[in-house]
Amino acid sequence: MIDMLPPRGVPRVLAVAQLTNSLGDGAYFVCSVVYFTHIVGLSPTQTGLGLTLGWGAGFLAGIPFGQLADRFGPRGTSIAVALLIAATLGAFLLVPSFPWFVLAACAYACLQTGFGITRQTLLAGLVAAEERTRTRAYLQAAGNGGMAVGAALGGLALTVGTATSYHVAFAVDALCFLIAAAVLSRLPSVAPSPRRAGGEPRLAVLRDRRYTVVAALNMVMMLYMPMLSVVVPLWIAERTHAPRWMVSAVLVVNTISVMAFQVRMARRISSLAVAARSIRWAGAVMGLACAVFALSAYGTSAWPAAAALLAGALIQVFAEMMLVSGGWELSFGLAPDGKTGQYQGFFSMGIAVARMLGPLLLTTLILNGGPAGWLVLGLAFAAAGAAMVPAVRWATVPVQAPATAAVSEPVSP
């Protein structure tokens, strides 16, 4: 039986908030680039540069927002950030020139990064350690569902194609964040972390080499995100004989699979040891998916190429679900008490780096390298996944005191 409905209480409230803001995000992401180029009048180069600078700023904002959540409490910080995102979406409708667009894009990306981190910190403060990964899986499924519905609404705006239709899509996104803020206000408060003791470093996570290594390996694995959203669509259009609608088919396979099976996959993650092994397998399976995607370039018939793409998509989403489930457990379980926010912020920086650098890196590697480029990427995934087991074993060896109870099981090869 497919388990998609989270338990009552905190998990369900968090899932409703995730569903709501993801619905708005879906509408925004589908039509935003076209709006900035066709309605605002920016060139494609200006739009791409502005969004890249924005996500670069978002990368730098991760740890500061985590510290804010630790210092002032994650519930109030999450609500404040959601309200600011709604205001920023309104500002997008008023940008008169490229410099103002860059400022709005930077503010939006920083706040989006902060919203994800503060909600993660809120989840850690309200949900028992043994239920966090499972709860995060419910949120992932809810987010995918909301994104799919929002994308359909954004598609309507694209179909109409008027300035008013785009303004309505942006207004829907802003309204969704206002509703998400109201939903989050129903949750209990989480006490702020105590002030740091004298002599304690302000950014303790940057001095934690073990956590840094684990986060860096996870960052490599996060390249699956631009691989799926940027590289695969371009690969289908430029290097295969598959029909163009396979772009949608691949994304639909991913969305439906995550909605249906992410929670079931997350149930298997019971400790840091299991999480590390899950990521090791994810790297190997992601490497296999890359090899299958490479096969889609061979031959001159559309249907064998489409079959290879569909098989690759199914293998990839299986690896993705193993990867993110293991990553959630590691990001929570290796963070010391009282510093969840800044540690979550640092771990989440891998997503920002993948979004910022991944498109250029992977398009150069794969569109220029062809099937050989896919094999290089697959080997990178397999190597990062394999390295995660010894990295987590190293991270779970106590230095002064164990970080959490979740480290009790040694990580086996």
Distance in angstroms (rounded) separating the CA atoms of residues 112 and 49: 18
Question: What are the two backbone dihedrals, phi and then psi, of residue 309, each rounded to the nearest 5 degrees?
Answer: -65, -40
Query: Which of 192, 221, 238 is where one domain is finished?
Result: 192
Same domain, 336 and 404: yes
Task: Give the per-residue pLDDT at 413.
Answer: 46
Residue 110 belongs to some domain of the structure: yes
Task: Give the per-residue pLDDT at 198.
Answer: 54
Three-state SS at 244? coil
Same domain, 177 and 225: no
Amino acid present at 363? T
Same domain, 214 and 110: no
Query: Which structural domain range is residue 105 located in?
Result: 1-192
* Contact of 403 with 299, CB cutoff 8 Å: no
Same domain, 161 and 212: no
Same domain, 147 and 293: no
Count structural domains, the chain.
2
Tokens of residue 237, six digits: 């259009």
For residue 148, give the nearest of 236, 231, 25, 325 by alpha carbon. Answer: 25
Query: Which of 165, 192, 219 is where one domain is finished?
Result: 192
Residue 323 belongs to some domain of the structure: yes
Distance in angstroms (rounded) separating the CA atoms of residues 396 and 93: 48
Amino acid present at 216? A
Residue with tokens 């098989």: 311
Residue 396 belongs to some domain of the structure: yes
Three-state SS at 390? helix
pTM over 0.95: no
Same domain, 71 and 152: yes
Residue 199 belongs to some domain of the structure: no
Same domain, 217 and 290: yes
Residue 198 belongs to some domain of the structure: no
Q: Which residues contact 82 (CB under 8 A, 6 or more apart)?
A: 21, 115, 177, 178, 180, 181, 184
Residue 413 belongs to some domain of the structure: no
Same domain, 35 and 156: yes
For residue 112, give the nearest of 37, 24, 231 by alpha carbon. Answer: 24
Query: Which of 192, 220, 238 is where one domain is finished?
Result: 192
Same domain, 155 and 227: no
Same domain, 294 and 237: yes
Helices (H), 127-162: 132-160
Q: What is the CATH number of the domain that holds 64?
A: 1.20.1250.20
For residue 83, give the nearest of 105, 62, 40, 114 by alpha carbon. Answer: 114
Kindly tell me the sign of the dihedral angle through the C-alpha atoms of 362, 260, 11, 212: negative
Task: Give the per-residue pLDDT at 175.
Answer: 96
* Contact of 153 with 27, CB cutoff 8 Å: yes
Chain Cα centroid distance, residue 25: 13
Neighbours of 252 (CB within 10 A): 12
Residue 197 belongs to some domain of the structure: no
Same domain, 138 and 246: no
Tokens of residue 34, six digits: 């076209």
Residue 357 belongs to some domain of the structure: yes
Chain Cα centroid distance, residue 151: 17
pLDDT string in tens for the chain (413-residue length): 445 678 889 999 999 999 999 999 888 887 888 888 888 888 878 887 888 888 888 888 888 999 899 889 999 999 999 999 999 998 888 888 899 999 999 999 899 999 999 999 999 999 998 899 999 999 988 998 898 888 888 888 888 889 999 999 999 999 999 999 999 999 999 888 776 555 556 677 888 999 999 999 999 999 999 898 888 988 998 899 998 888 878 888 888 899 889 999 999 998 999 999 999 999 999 999 999 999 999 977 899 999 999 999 999 999 999 999 999 999 999 998 888 888 998 998 888 888 888 888 998 999 899 999 999 999 999 999 999 999 999 999 875 544 444 444 444 44
Same domain, 37 and 158: yes
